[in-house]
């Protein structure tokens, strides 16, 4: 546990000494503000709810922003060669993987928490159900974790951060699209409801919807946690594979 | 302390390390020599647990590196070949992190960092970012990291690479001093370092150990070893050679230099001589002659190295 903490601490500090952290946070907040108030027409709706104008966009923001955060996780270690240092320390590879993941996840949590002015404004303007908003925040953070774990996985594949980024975006796009309205309609046209449900059950959007309605369904939580668990496990397998040569 | 048995590593079809066995005890400094691509770094990476061996067994302090990696890694300090360090940290931050992950807390950590900062002369750059360090300083930072926990076993891949002559000297002294109490393996391409630091050296070529012994033993493998060189005034080269062929145990004589005033001849013995007997025999045969110089050759490591390890061009032919 202390090893995980040590590694996470170092990693988190690394984010905040590089411009990546600030660029990320600024872009994320700008996007949130722009989409909520202009595209999402927060004011025109006249509803004291954040679901449609704010949280609906999260899966799409994360699609590009999270891989940008996660792409350096292992690609950079391998390129610079510090992985040789890290993995010859008296720690397990598992501790390193989890520590690095947690640091980035906490970082994403910080960025997400900084959107609090939006919550304040909706409370100022009306009386929203803050329980629902809280559930949606939890869901959003879990979903970000799933994106991040996938980015960690693609980052372990390659020394090249750009390749890592692109593969992560494509993978996550796939996982979004299989629950995206138009795609679902397309599949429904095939007339096989079971198939539709199966495909949709893999989607980030489907599982995020529950949280947006204020429902903390254990199945949704388990879905995101298992995506995280599976991706991190595979990250370990890939790293071991690289070292075995 | 370090025990390596029939270690093998295969990359694709290439046998980078092929049946390497050796042991290093506490108080020994083992020099790893070998041409580029011989498998030195690969062997070290397996000992430190970074890459798993294909077959064979490694124990460090009695702990199997594959079955019990954490216990083994605790005993080991490692300086990798590229001397990588986290570029987004300051030197102090980096060393502090390494100390923390090695299990130091509170005051102990401060002391550990302070100790290596002094040993490696890093005070000037302590708060500089690793990214902007010069190559030598980066190397020293990584070196500092490897000794931060005062390990019983030190594995260093080219520790003096990129250092200035003063620092090279410091590092060699440091290794020699630490070698009295630790088991140390270090690789190098600088043969003088072997004499200066090692108690034993191993030469690896194409994944195999081709020589293993003290620097003196290795030097004795040189054909020069034991040869006697004499310069005699007032004699022609040929006459001098003739005279020396009469000495018992002479294999051949080579005229090195000849001018009207003096001739220099090198006499090679048939068998390796003991206690300078051959030199005495040569001196005896020359009694009465005007000997200006007479000395036994020691043998040269670079010659041994070149003879044992095939150069790249010869390798192509060997295939
Ligand atoms: N990860 C890898 N994948 C494939 N081949 C590798 C890998 N690592 C090393 N090799 C090969 O193994 C051989 C031994 O490499 P190694 O780095 O151990 O050499 P070395 O003795 O350290 O050489 P140098 O003096 O140049 O540092 C080389 O032919 C190298 O190309
Ligand atoms: Mg090497």
Which residue's structure tokens are 């992985």?
A83
If asked whether residues B38 and B123 sit together in one domain, one would say: yes
Instruction: Evaluate whether residue B180 is within a structural domain.
Output: yes
How many contacts does A have with B, using Cβ atoms within 8 A?
70
Residues B278, B199, single domain; the answer is: no
In chain B, alpha helices (H) = 40-47, 69-75, 91-101, 106-119, 135-146, 165-178, 191-197, 215-220, 237-245, 277-285, 301-308, 312-318
Whether residues B77 and B179 fall in one domain: yes
Q: Where does a domain end: B193, B219, B245?
A: B219
Full domain range(s) for residue B142: 2-219
Check if the beta carbon of residue A235 is closer than 8 Å to that of residue A97. yes
B139 plus B249 within the same structural domain: no
Cβ–Cβ below 8 Å for A10 and B89? yes
Asked, for residue B61, whether it belongs to a domain, the answer is yes
Our CA-based measurement puts residue B118 at a distance from the nearest CA of chain A, in whole angstroms, of 22
pLDDT by residue (tens digit) across A186-209? 777 777 777 777 777 778 888 888
CA A83 and chain centroid, separation: 24
Q: Which residues of chain A are within 8 Å of residue B100 when distances are taken between CB atoms?
A: 6
Residue B119 CA to residue B164 CA, distance in Å, equals 16
Of B219, B253, B281, the residue that ends a domain is B219
- pLDDT in the model for residue A101: 96
- pLDDT for res A88: 94
Helix A58-70, helix A130-157: angle, nearest 10: 40
Contact A90 B70 (CB under 8 A): yes
Cβ neighbours, 10 Å, residue A12: 20
In CATH, what number is assigned to the domain containing residue B126? Answer: 3.40.50.300
Q: Report pLDDT for B314.
A: 56
Kindly state whether residues B136 and B232 are assigned to the same domain: no
Greater confidence (A47 vs A77) lies with A77
Distance CA B282, CA B294 (A): 9
Rounded distance between C-alpha atoms, residue A149 and residue A66, angstroms: 10
Report the Cα A202 to chain-centroid distance in Å.
Answer: 15
> Band of the pLDDT at A181, cuts 50, 70, 90?
confident
Whether B306 is in a domain gets the answer no
Residues 38-97 of B with CB under 8 A from A: 45, 48-52, 69-70, 73-74, 76, 78, 80, 82, 84-89, 93, 97
Is B303 inside any structural domain? Answer: no
Query: What local confidence, expressed as pLDDT, does residue B312 receive?
Result: 55
In this structure, the residues whose C-beta lies within 6 A of any atom of ligand 1 are A 245; B 11, 16, 34, 36-42, 81
Is B97–A10 a contact, with Cβ atoms under 8 angstroms apart?
yes
Same domain, B57 and B155: yes
Q: Based on the domain organization, do B241 and B186 belong to the same domain?
A: no
Q: How many CB atoms lie within 10 A of CB B40?
A: 28
Q: Is B307 on the interface with A (CB under 8 A)?
A: no
Report the pLDDT averaged over residues A171-200: 77
The verdict on a CB contact (< 8 Å) between A90 and B80 is: no
* pTM assigned to the model: 0.86
Q: How far, in Å, CA of A10 to CA of A7, rounded?
A: 5
- HSE of B43 in the Cβ direction (CA atoms, 13 Å)? 35
- Residues 60-89 in A contacting B (C-alpha not used; CB under 8 Å): 80-82, 84-85, 87-89
B299: which 2 tokens?
């043998």
Structural domain count of chain B: 2
DSSP, residue by residue, chain A: -HHHHHHHHHHHHHHHHSHHHHHHHHHHHHHHHHIIIIIS-HHHHT-S--TTTTGGGHHHHHHHHHHHHHTHHHHHHHHHTHHHHHTTSSS-HHHHHHHHHHHHHHHHHHHHHTTHHHHHHHHHHS---HHHHHHHHHHHHHHHHHHHHHHHHHHHH-S-HHHHHHHHHHHHHHHHHTTSHHHHHHHHTTT-HHHHHHHHTT-HHHHHHHHHTT---HHHHHHHHHHHHHHHHHHHHHHHHHHH-
C-beta of residue B29 within 8 angstroms of C-beta of residue B184:
yes
pLDDT band at A48 (very low <50, low <70, confident <90, very high): low
Q: Find tokens 């996982």 and name the residue.
A: A175
> Do residues A64 and A58 make contact, with C-beta atoms less than 8 angstroms apart?
no
Residues with CB under 5 A from ligand 2 (ion): B 40-41, 81
Tens of pLDDT, residue by residue, chain B (319 residues)? 899 999 999 998 889 999 999 999 999 999 999 999 999 999 999 999 999 999 999 999 999 999 999 999 999 999 999 888 999 899 999 999 999 999 999 899 999 999 999 999 999 999 999 999 998 899 999 999 999 999 999 999 999 888 889 989 988 999 999 999 999 999 999 888 888 899 999 999 989 998 898 888 888 877 777 788 889 888 888 888 888 888 888 888 888 888 888 888 888 888 776 777 888 888 888 888 888 888 888 777 777 788 788 665 555 555 4
Q: Give the pLDDT score at B86.
A: 93
The answer to the question of residue B308 being in a domain is no
Higher pLDDT, A25 or B298: A25
B15 shares its domain with B39: yes
Residues B230/B267, Cβ–Cβ less than 8 Å? yes
Tell me, rounded to whole angstroms, the distance of Cα B211 from its chain centroid: 12
- Tokens 């005034």 found at: B233
Cβ atoms of residues A168 and A67 within 8 Å: yes
Ligand 1: which of B15, B16, B82 to mutate, most ligand atoms within 8 Å of CB? Answer: B16
Judged against a pLDDT cut of 70, whether residue A45 lies above it is answered with no
CB–CB contact A89 B102 (8 Å): yes
B315 within a domain of the structure (yes/no): no
Interface test with B, best of A88, A99, A159, A244 (most B CBs within 10 A): A88
What is the distance in A from the centroid of ligand 2 to the CA of B188?
9
ipTM of the complex in this document: 0.86
| Whether residues B191 and B252 fall in one domain | no
Quick one: B127 and B235 in the same domain? Answer: no
Whether B197 is covered by a domain: the verdict is yes
Disruptive mutation site among A4, A21, A84, A94 for chain B (greatest number of B CBs within 10 Å): A84
Q: Domain containing B251 — which CATH number? A: 3.30.70
| CA pair distance B216, B231, nearest whole angstrom | 26
- In terms of phi and psi (left: phi > 0; alpha: psi -120 to 50; beta: otherwise), the region of A43 is alpha
Residue B22 lies in a domain: yes
| Structural element, H or E, at residue B163 | none
- Of A8, A93, A82, the closest CA to residue B100 belongs to A8
Residue A46 binned pLDDT confidence (cut-offs 50, 70, 90): low
End position of a domain, from candidates B165, B192, B219: B219
**Which ligand minimizes its atom distance to the CA of B43?**
1
B132 and B211 in one domain? yes
Secondary element (H or E) of residue B252: strand B250-258
Q: Which H or E element spans position B15?
A: strand B14-24
């Amino acid at each position: 546990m202390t090893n995980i903490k040590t590694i996470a601490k170092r990693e988190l500090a690394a984010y905040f000494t590089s411009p990546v952290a600030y660029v990320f946070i600024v872009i994320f907040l700008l996007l949130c503000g722009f989409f909520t108030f202009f595209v999402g027409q927060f004011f025109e709706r006249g509803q004291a709810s954040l679901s449609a104008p704010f949280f609906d966009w999260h899966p799409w923001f994360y699609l590009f922003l999270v891989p940008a955060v996660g792409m350096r996780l292992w690609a950079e270690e391998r390129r610079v060669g510090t992985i040789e240092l890290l993995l010859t320390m008296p720690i397990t590879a598992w501790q390193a993987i989890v520590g690095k993941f947690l640091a980035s996840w906490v970082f994403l949590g910080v960025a997400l928490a900084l959107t609090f002015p939006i919550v304040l404004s909706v409370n100022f303007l009306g009386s929203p159900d803050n329980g629902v908003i809280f559930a949606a925040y939890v869901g959003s953070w879990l979903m970000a974790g799933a994106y991040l774990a996938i980015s960690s996985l693609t980052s372990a594949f390659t020394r090249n951060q750009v390749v890592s980024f692109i593969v992560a975006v494509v993978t996550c796009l796939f996982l979004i699209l299989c629950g995206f309205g138009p795609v679902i309609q397309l599949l429904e046209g095939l007339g096989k409801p079971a198939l539709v449900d199966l495909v949709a059950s893999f989607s980030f959007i489907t599982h995020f919807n529950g949280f947006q309605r204020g429902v903390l369904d254990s199945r949704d939580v388990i879905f995101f946690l298992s995506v995280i668990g599976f991706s991190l496990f595979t990250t370990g397998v890939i790293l071991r594979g690289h070292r075995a040569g | 302390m370090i025990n390596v048995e029939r270690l093998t590593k295969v990359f694709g079809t290439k046998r980078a390390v092929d049946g390497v066995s050796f042991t290093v005890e506490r108080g020994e400094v083992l020099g790893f020599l070998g041409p580029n691509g011989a498998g030195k770094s690969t062997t070290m990476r397996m000992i430190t647990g970074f890459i798993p061996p294909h077959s064979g067994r490694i124990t460090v302090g009695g702990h199997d590196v594959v079955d019990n990696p954490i216990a083994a890694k605790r005993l080991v300090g490692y300086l990798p070949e590229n001397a990588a360090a986290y570029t987004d940290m300051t030197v102090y931050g980096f060393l502090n992190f390494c100390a923390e992950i090695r299990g130091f807390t509170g005051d102990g950590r401060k002391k550990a960092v302070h100790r290596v900062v002094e040993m490696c002369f890093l005070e000037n750059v302590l708060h500089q970012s690793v990214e902007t360090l010069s190559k030598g300083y980066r190397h020293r930072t990584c070196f500092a990291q490897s000794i931060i926990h005062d390990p019983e076993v030190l594995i260093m891949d080219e520790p003096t690479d990129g250092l200035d002559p003063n620092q090279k000297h410091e590092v060699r002294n440091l290794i020699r001093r630490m070698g009295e109490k630790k088991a140390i393996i270090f690789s190098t391409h600088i043969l003088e370092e072997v004499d200066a630091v090692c108690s034993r050296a191993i030469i690896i070529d194409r994944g195999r150990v081709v020589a293993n012994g003290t620097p003196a033993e290795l030097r004795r493998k040189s054909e020069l070893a034991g040869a006697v060189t004499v310069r005699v005034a007032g004699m022609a080269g040929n006459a001098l050679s003739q005279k020396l062929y009469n000495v018992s145990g002479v294999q051949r004589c080579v005229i090195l230099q000849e001018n009207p005033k003096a001739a220099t001849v090198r006499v090679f013995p048939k068998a390796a001589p003991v206690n300078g007997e051959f030199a005495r025999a040569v001196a005896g045969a020359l009694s009465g002659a005007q000997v200006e110089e007479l000395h036994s050759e020691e043998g040269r490591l670079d010659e041994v190295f070149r003879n044992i390890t095939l150069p790249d061009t010869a390798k192509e032919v060997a295939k």
